[in-house]
């Protein structure tokens, strides 16, 4: 049961003296009632009356605008100011002038959003490939209907479609437009309703007509035999994948990839991009390239600018010396919207209900609807001809005895008695008698009489033929085929979007093939600062600079194309491509890896190594005296993952780690001051990263394994003292002569 609360509105008023006796009432109601009473009607209104196109390919806003222009005699006539059309459209479309004008802009030839524009425009209408190129105000531009609209409105006056009253009941408007071709597949259309959306890509008109004809002749015909692929107004190259396209044609859902067209001018050392995907704009592309250049991910571009002019779109990229254009474009295709995926969602209103359909189902519905249109207009034509035949049959009766008719009219004293007396004298009905009475005197001659009698015979043959047409669906289908062939012949145009086979295109961009490779020196500090310094810069530099309290931890001589593996105290391995780092100097601190790698709070780097093609093994020495030998290839991934969890066992803290490429002797040290020397062959190699390893050094309770190194790097004068006969072993206390420098640990 709903609760009612009252709030004194005078408490909310700044001047309560001016508020007398007003009380606001707040009514609580169940959410189910709100959905039923408020939400559902709104949702259905948006779906049915605004956002989703119908089988003729139009949304209500498109249909109202085009029909208004048709009523204004703008099909084949002279252009008129866009403001005039916008104002007249308001009689059918109860929206602001801005929304109506935006609809007109999208349908215009100047904007270029449709393969076959429906509005022949003059003036600045902006461009679909530019986000910032604004269209001129409606008072400055002129429009009329494009020639193809003759096919959109053909026979609309012959009861082809239903008409309904407009929003205030003063005018009528068509519920659909009787398009003689499947405009639903030709004109691209997008819409977002409540809880659903629609995204129809455009197809080539000639291919759509051929596909519809094939479907009419053979209901089992496959669309892919004649409908090659979507055709987009902005051109580009479509990467054709037969499996993906077949899925789109079958279900009405899916996506396909489109890439830009470009050419390389060697004399100027620049790239010109002259067609881009339909789903992006030049501003988005330029902004993304600038962002990548700033981030150091693209270093081959010297400058990029928009040189679009009246001749069409053109983006120019100035290249640095020695850059390979093909490799750069592959990189840009991968990292920017110069190559983009276009989604398909063929959601269409059919008899007021939204349905997602494949191409075959859409064509079948369009064919059925077109058959209905032809039957309606044929029935309308038969009715008109029968009415005319009825009049001529009455005229024939009069003309057989014209003297009698003249005598009746002459002997009639009052005008209102002429029709009744003719009806009585010749057995005519009132309509026939009115028609005869209105004949002019000059038409009462032999030639006129013979022509009218001959016309009766022609009308009878025409009615018989039209009746036969209505009764034979095969004849209607042949008529639709003829109309489609005429449309193809008049308005068919070559494809704008080229089709290239996806398997013939190298879509996968491998950063390694495009990295400039050169020797580098790496310096990693204890706090996680990493410097990448070239040999030339290192020779010119002084002492390495570190943050106060920080110092050197690990150093490498490697190549810029290498990958660095960093192991942390959280049993995680971070992978870092050295080519992603800017070259540094000895006087700088370098890149702070915990921030760059987005490490967890409190996570620190314990050890690191270069990938080196993931050859060899990694030895993990744990404080409990165990050693794990893991193949380096266990850290190699197919995808370019940046973080691996479970990089090593978490059963005991990590004390040290070594990279092993060949069998050798190893030395481990404990906090008790003991050392143990053993052969690496006794360590079993594992592919599992989280292996706990094997026991190597036995430790007293209060001691732990502290560090490890290769035997060749140890300071031992008499290594035999520390060599174990079997493992695990406690090792031997290190003599003073064998101590050398203090051993380093990871702790």
Cβ pair 455, 392 in contact under 8 A: yes
Coil vs helix vs strand at 601? coil
Residue 42 is among the residues annotated as catalytic for this protein = no
Cis bond leading into 728, ω under 30°? yes
Q: How far is CA 217 from the centre of its chain?
A: 34
As to burial, measured by CB atoms within 10 angstroms (0-12 exposed, 13-18 middle, 19+ buried), residue 263 is exposed
For 370, the 3-state DSSP assignment is: helix
Q: Comparing C-alpha atoms, which of 315, 262, 263, 312 is closest to residue 286?
A: 315
Taking the chain, what is the end-to-end CA distance rounded to the nearest angstrom?
A: 69
**Which letter does DSSP use for residue 416 in this model?**
G
d(CA 54, CA 178): 12
Q: Cα 701 vs. chain centroid, distance in angstroms?
A: 64
352 dihedral zone (left: phi>0; alpha: psi -120 to 50; beta): left
Strand-by-strand arrangement of the 80-81 sheet? 80-81, 142-145, 119-122
Element (H, E) at 25: strand 23-27
Q: What is the secondary structure of 47-69 as a DSSP string?
A: IIIIIS-BTTS--HHHHHHHHHH
- Chain centroid offset of residue 631 CA: 43
- The rounded distance, in Å, linking the Cα atoms of 609 and 626 is 21
Burial of 219 (0-12, 13-18, 19+ CB in 10 A): exposed
Paired with 522 in beta bridges are 532, 556
Burial class (CB in 10 A: 0-12, 13-18, 19+), 50: middle
For 280-340, give the DSSP string: --HHHHHHHHHHHHHTTS--SEEEEEE--BTTB--EEEEEPTT--HHHHHHHHHHHSTTEE
| E strands, 331-397, in order | 339-345, 347-350, 353-356
User: To which residue do tokens 């005039």 refer?
Assistant: 84
Catalytic option among 67, 70, 101, 140 = 140
Q: Provide the CA 262 distance to its chain's centre, in angstroms.
A: 21
Task: Tell me how far apart the alpha carbons of residues 400 and 163 are, in angstroms, rounded to a whole number.
Answer: 43
Q: What does the alpha-carbon distance between residue 182 and residue 166 come to, in Å, rounded to a whole number?
A: 26
CB 167 within 8 A of CB 94: yes
For Cα atoms 520, 523, 525, give the angle at the middle one, nearest 5 degrees. 165
> Considering just the CA atoms, what is the radius of gyration of the chain in Å?
42
CA distance linking residue 563 with residue 580, whole number of Å = 10
Q: Which two tokens stand for residue 557?
A: 């001589």
Q: Which residues are catalytic?
A: 140
């Amino acid at each position: 049961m709903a609760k009612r609360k009252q709030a004194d509105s005078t408490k909310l008023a700044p001047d309560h003296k001016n508020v007398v006796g007003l009380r606001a009432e707040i009514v609580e109601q169940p959410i189910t009632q709100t959905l039923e009473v408020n939400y559902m009607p709104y949702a259905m209104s948006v779906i049915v009356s605004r956002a989703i196109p119908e089988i003729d390919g139009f949304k209500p806003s498109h249909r109202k605008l085009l029909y208004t222009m048709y009523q204004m005699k703008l099909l084949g006539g002279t252009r008129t100011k866009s403001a005039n059309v916008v104002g007249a459209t308001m009689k059918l479309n109860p929206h602001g002038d801005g929304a109506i004008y935006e609809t007109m802009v999208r349908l215009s030839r100047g904007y270029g959003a449709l393969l076959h524009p429906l509005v022949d425009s003059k003036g600045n209408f902006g461009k679909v490939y530019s986000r910032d190129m604004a269209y001129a105000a409606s008072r400055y531009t002129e429009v009329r209907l494009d020639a193809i609209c003759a096919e959109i409105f053909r026979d609309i006056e012959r009861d082809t479609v239903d008409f309904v009253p407009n929003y205030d009941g003063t005018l009528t408007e068509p519920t659909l437009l009787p398009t003689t071709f499947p405009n639903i597949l030709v004109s691209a259309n997008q819409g977002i309703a409540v809880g659903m959306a629609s995204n129809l890509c455009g197809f080539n008109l000639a291919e759509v007509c051929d596909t519809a004809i094939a479907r009419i002749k053979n209901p089992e015909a496959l669309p892919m035999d004649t409908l090659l692929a979507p055709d987009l107004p902005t051109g580009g190259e479509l990467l054709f994948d037969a499996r993906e396209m077949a899925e789109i044609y079958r279900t009405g859902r899916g996506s396909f990839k489109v890439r830009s067209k470009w050419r390389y001018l060697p004399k100027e050392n620049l790239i010109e991009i002259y067609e881009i995907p339909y789903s992006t704009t030049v501003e988005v592309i330029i902004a993304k390239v600038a962002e990548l250049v700033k981030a150091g991910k693209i270093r081959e571009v010297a400058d990029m600018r928009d040189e679009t002019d009246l001749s069409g779109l053109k983006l120019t990229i100035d290249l640095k010396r020695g850059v390979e254009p093909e490799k750069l474009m592959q990189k840009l295709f991968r990292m920017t919207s110069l190559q983009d995926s276009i989604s398909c969602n063929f959601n269409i209103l059919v008899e007021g209900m939204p349905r997602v359909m494949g191409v075959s189902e859409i064509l079948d519905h369009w064919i059925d609807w077109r058959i209905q249109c032809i039957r309606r207009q044929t029935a309308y034509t038969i009715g008109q001809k029968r009415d005319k035949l009825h009049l001529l049959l009455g005229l024939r009766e009069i003309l057989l005895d014209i003297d009698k008719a003249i005598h009746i009219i002459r002997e009639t004293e009052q005008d209102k008695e002429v029709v009744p007396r003719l009806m009585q004298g010749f057995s005519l009905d009132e309509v026939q008698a009115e028609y005869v009475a209105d004949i002019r005197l000059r038409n009462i001659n032999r030639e006129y009489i013979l022509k009218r009698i001959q016309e009766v015979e022609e009308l009878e043959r025409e009615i018989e033929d039209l009746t036969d047409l209505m009764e034979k669906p095969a004849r209607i289908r042949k008529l639709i085929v003829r109309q489609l062939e005429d449309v193809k012949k008049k308005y068919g145009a070559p494809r704008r979007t080229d089709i290239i086979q996806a398997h013939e295109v190298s879509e996968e961009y491998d950063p390694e093939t495009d990295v400039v490779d050169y020797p580098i020196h790496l310096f990693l500090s204890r706090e996680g600062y990493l410097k990448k310094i070239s040999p030339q810069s290192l020779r010119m530099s002084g002492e390495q600079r570190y943050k106060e309290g920080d110092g050197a931890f690990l150093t490498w001589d490697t190549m810029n194309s290498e990958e660095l593996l960093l192991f942390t105290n959280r049993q995680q391995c971070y992978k870092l491509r050295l080519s992603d780092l800017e070259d540094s100097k000895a006087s700088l601190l370098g890149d702070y890896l915990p921030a760059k790698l987005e490490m967890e709070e409190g996570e620190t780097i314990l050890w690191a190594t270069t990938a080196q093609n993931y050859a060899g093994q990694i030895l993990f020495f744990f404080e409990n005296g165990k050693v794990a030998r893991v193949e380096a290839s266990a850290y190699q991934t197919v995808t370019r993952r940046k973080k691996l969890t479970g990089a090593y066992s978490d059963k005991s803290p990590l004390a040290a780690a070594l990279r092993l490429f060949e069998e050798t002797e190893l030395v481990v040290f404990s906090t008790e001051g003991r050392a143990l020397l053993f052969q690496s062959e006794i360590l079993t190699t594992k592919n599992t990263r989280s292996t706990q390893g094997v026991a190597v050094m036995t430790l007293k309770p209060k001691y732990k394994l502290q560090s490890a190194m290769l035997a060749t790097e140890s300071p031992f004068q008499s290594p035999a003292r520390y060599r174990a006969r079997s493992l695990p072993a406690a090792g031997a206390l290190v003599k003073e002569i064998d101590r050398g420098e203090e051993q380093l640990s990871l702790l």
